[in-house]
Amino acid sequence: MFTLNVVTPEKVLAHRVEVEEVIVPGFRGELNLLPGHAPIMTTLSEGVLRYRLKGESKQIKAAISWGYCEVSPSGIDILAETAEFPEQIDFARVEESLKKVEKELDHISDLDPELIEKYQRKAKRARVRLSLKDK
């Protein structure tokens, strides 16, 4: 068992939460972090953060955007641009936003790679958030 902290510029999503397992979305794939994991510092991609509380089998999920993850003997610290639990997400608004972003992507010139990348990131973030919607 170890502790998890998840912080964004606007809020603290988790503070000293006792967990048994944490799965973070890294840029090269998911990282499964268990007690005793070697200390590391890594960057995070947009994706779903998952963790299991001490003594629980159900995973808690949150949508996060890029950030950093530090694993130390005392626990895991995640600094993310954004982080939201499913109950904090307005899924209707996200679906509408995704439609707008996809429409914009259809009309962007191939000559503007920065703008394409910006809209692709927005679309990915929306899809990650929508993946937390109850089916």
Render pLDDT for 5-58 as a digit per residue (tens, 0 to 9).
Answer: 999 999 999 999 999 999 999 988 999 999 999 999 999 999 999 999 989 999
Looking at residue 130, its amino acid is L
The reported pTM is 0.86
Using CA atoms, how far residue 93 sits from 38, 68, 90, 97, in Å, is: 40, 27, 5, 6
Same domain for 65 and 123:
no
Domain around 125: 90-130
Q: Residue 93: exposed, middle, or buried by beta-carbon count in 10 A (0-12, 13-18, 19+)?
A: exposed
What tens digit of pLDDT does each residue of 55-107 get? 999 999 999 998 999 999 989 999 999 999 999 999 999 999 999 999 888 87
Question: Considering the domain boundaries, does residue 96 fall inside one?
Answer: yes
SS3 (DSSP) at 53: strand
* Residues 59 and 102 both lie in one domain: no
Q: Are residues 80 and 126 both part of a single domain?
A: no
The CATH number assigned to the domain holding 74 equals 2.60.15.10
Total domains in the chain come to 2
Is residue 135 included in any domain, yes or no?
Answer: no
